[in-house]
Amino acid sequence: MDKILRIDMGAKGGPKASEAELGDYAGMGGRGLTSAIVSREVPPLCHPLSADNKLVIAPGLLSGTIAANSGRISIGCKSPLTGGIKESNAGGQAAQVLARLGYAAIVLEGEPGDDNLYKVVINKDGVKIEADNSLKMLGNYDLIDKIKEAYGEKVACISIGPAGEMKLTAASIACTDMEQRPTRHAGRGGVGAVMGAKGVKVIVLDDAGMKMRPPKDPEKFKEANKVWVEGLRKHPVTGEGLPAYGTNVLTNVVNEAGALPTRNFRFGRFEGASKVSGETEAEIETARGGMATHGCHAGCVIRCSGVYHDKDGHYMTKQPEYETIWAHGAHCEIDDLDAIAMMDRLEDDYGLDTIEMGVTIGLAMEAGLAEFGDAEAAINLVKEVGKGTPLGRVLGSGAAVTGQVYGLEKVPVVKKQALPAYDPRAVQGIGVTYATSTMGADHTAGYAVTANVLQVGGNVDPLKPEGQIELSRNLQVATAVIDSLGMCLFIAFATLDQPETFQALVDMVNAFYGLSLNDEDVVDLGKSILTSEREFNKKAGFTAADDRLPEFFKKDSLPPHNVTFEVKDEELDSVFNW
């Protein structure tokens, strides 16, 4: 990972690729690198779909190694959804393969001067860019089938579906999993629309002939990774709960906590929660010949994914994750797992963020386009997006636009990005993260559910404002580092509770790169990333007024606890006061 691949889609005579040394970007990876390139090279006031924006795709600092759970990839740009900086994160095989090919990042620049749609093929021999209009408007599944026919069963792909080609602001970017299915998505912020604006349909990555990245100190790296794996496996969340029931293990937990947003954030509990819970989902998957435990990328030891089959035992989609289950389930009052799985399949195929789309469908129900609980109508609304009808384009533009078009007052968004699956009134720490994250409402930016609900890394009362600022701040700093290493967010459970596991992670970085980082250095890295992101957003026009939740969270109490969001504005403004 000693070079950056830049692809100028607007070059004279057609798209051209060039390689450059890391230079000032040396020592950066994942989110740290995507945010650095965006903040330094993209004009903050540019239109997100213009030639001036850049799409940066970066594996983490430990991707392409034997380090367990190091296969996450960061995709960054100026977001067409929020208007601010964006890092969207995905699993799958792309990060490991891209890292083994020697690239710290791919940067898509400019825009094509024609109507052609391009594919990019990268292997040990170099980079090939060619127009392939036979791929236009293909869903991700049909697209990957064509790629497999042409390039074999071992390549990894980064692609967009029709939503990305239509430049819809809820459009995602798909990464293929270990079975070459386009199921792992960089979902948030409309990154797929930026890839569509660059005229790129798919990037094919082939690391045949390439080896694992070698550490500077192989023995120390191997020993640190051994301690690391042991730590992940012995923690009850990463070693038991997530492998058994996937991320959807949270449905019953969060519902019991009275924090599961139901019927467009009216209630904190959903009567149908048990029907769509992780426990029920795992039973169905096992009974139908699917898989309740599965890794989204090679080297994953948590294995919180799965495979969901239909009633006839045929593959339908990957295991719908907790956020997807909530957005299409409790939020829309749908308790039919098969219907939710179908929407997950469609959204992966069209290339859509399942959180943004689920929240949007709930708003469409609020507006009277369908009844709450009507699963068939919800599926049909998703299909409208895939068809690109006028209604579909509104819905595919996300929750904020849909709420505006239909004159809705209660629209759960921050910086125009839909809130995820935890009500900020009942989990006040996550409310702080939603409000202040540089990314818009994003649970992964500072997952305060740890101490608020799960009592991991401490215990902070979720219903009271005390302690929430410090909790969110510390987690936002830590998450920026995790995203830069290419690590899965779920490693946080073990590192928060087990000092020796956190130390093993630091030891791996030091052994791999020949460094001597300590705890303070790690914290400083996270702070520097957040600072650069904040500076970009400020130049893009963001102010303290953008670091706020919608007013109804402060005014409307949430059953069953009957609480409102009580963290004061002046406290929110102090999150980034180091």
- For the chain, list the domains and their CATH numbers: 3-205 (3.60.9.10), 225-572 (1.10.569.10)
C-alpha atoms less than 13 angstroms from C-alpha of 314 in its C-beta half-sphere? 3
- Structure tokens given for 167: 């430049």
CB neighbours of 32 closer than 8 A, spacing ≥ 6? 61, 480, 483, 484, 525, 528, 529
Would you say residue 297 has pLDDT above 90? no
- Calculate mean pLDDT across residues 391-418: 98
For residues 448 and 432, what is the distance between their CA atoms, to the nearest angstrom?
A: 9
Residue 337 to residues 181, 219, 322, 384, 537, Cα–Cα distance (Å): 21, 47, 12, 21, 39
Contact 99, 485 (CB under 8 A): no
Nearest to 417 by CA among 254, 531, 550: 550
Quote the Cα angle for 378-144-113, to 5°: 95
Quote the Cα angle for 219-221-226, to 5°: 95
**DSSP letters spanning 495-511:** HHH-HHHHHHHHHHHHH
- Structure tokens given for 17: 């690729």
- The whole-model pTM stands at 0.97
For residues 67 and 52, what is the distance between their CA atoms, to the nearest angstrom?
A: 36
**For residue 2, what pLDDT band results from cuts at 50, 70 and 90?**
confident
Residue 571 confidence (pLDDT): 98
**For residue 230, what pLDDT band results from cuts at 50, 70 and 90?**
very high
Residue 405 to residues 296, 388, 440, Cα–Cα distance (Å): 37, 17, 21
For residues 414 and 419, what is the distance between their CA atoms, to the nearest angstrom?
A: 7
- Longest CA pairwise span in the chain (Å): 63
What crossing angle do the helices spanning 218-234 and 499-513 adopt, rounded to 10°?
A: 150
Q: What is the pLDDT of residues 22-44, one digit of tens each?
A: 999 999 999 999 999 999 999 99
Q: What is the pLDDT of residues 407-450, one digit of tens each?
A: 999 999 999 999 999 999 999 999 999 999 999 999 999 999 99
Coil, strand or helix: which one is 407?
coil
Length of the chain: 578
Would you say residue 286 has pLDDT above 80? yes
Check residue 303 and give left, alpha or beta (phi > 0: left; psi -120 to 50: alpha): left
For residues 33 and 484, what is the distance between their CA atoms, to the nearest angstrom?
A: 7
Quote the Cα angle for 488-491-494, to 5°: 175
Would you say residue 1 has pLDDT above 80? no
